[in-house]
A and B are shown apart, each in its own frame.
Chain A
Amino acid sequence: GNSVTQMEGPVTLSEEAFLTINCTYTATGYPSLFWYVQYPGEGLQLLLKATKADDKGSNKGFEATYRKETTSFHLEKGSVQVSDSAVYFCALSDKGTYKYIFGTGTRLKVLA
């Protein structure tokens, strides 16, 4: 079945450091890919999405490119801030089953 694999956390960075969170997927067909972020005590918020190969999603300085050849959707940010501290989830939309499949989440901690 379809699945999403994310790098294990936690990831601890200093403010203004470069961030990469790896995400790879296994899917039949061409799923849409998403990054969600969860702040403490909150639900999930959509960070960005890409719906087809080579699409680049971007929002709030975060970017991710849908790479069909490597089945990846890595999240990047050039300069992280303390306020970016949260848990990040990679997900794909499992077409035909009306559900999302999530990775295990990667906790990011940014130190001032």
Chain B
Amino acid sequence: KAGVTQTPRYLIKTRGQQVTLSCSPISGHRSVSWYQQTPGQGLQFLFEYFSETQRNKGNFPGRFSGRQFSNSRSEMNVSTLELGDSALYLCASSLESGPSLNTEAFFGQGTRLTVV
């Protein structure tokens, strides 16, 4: 059974550009979450989707957005990139009920974004 797949693994972008990251969840998983990981702030929740609906959003500016498609694949977009957006972006998928009902999240390897 394939795990959570994130593409690309590495990205280098320039300040002011925008970027789109992709996440394919484990087959049958309908909940997809995104987290930003930085040395200073640790793991911070970005948003969670279930059946194409965003159920929760973390405390990030509007430059961070996401969506989920009917096949449960998800993308997140960051516009007008800033140096501080450099981070490892992790996607996690869960079974139908999502993390609210004791089910664990399965994480991808992440996308390492560097903004220069």
Contacts and interface: CB of A to CB of B under 8 A. Distances in A.
Nearest to B41: A104
B55 A93 contact: no
Interface stretch (A13-21, A69-77, A78-86, A95-103): A95-103
Contacts of A27: none
B104 A44 contact: no
A36 B99 CA distance: 14
A98 B55 contact: yes
A22 interface: no
Contacts of A88: none
A93 to B, nearest CB: 4
B109 A98 contact: no
B109 A43 contact: yes
B75 interface: no
B102 A98 contact: no
Contacts of B106: 46
Interface of A: 32, 34, 36, 41-46, 49, 51, 89, 93-105
Interface of B: 4, 6, 31, 33, 35, 42-43, 45, 48, 50, 55-56, 58, 90, 92, 98-102, 104-110
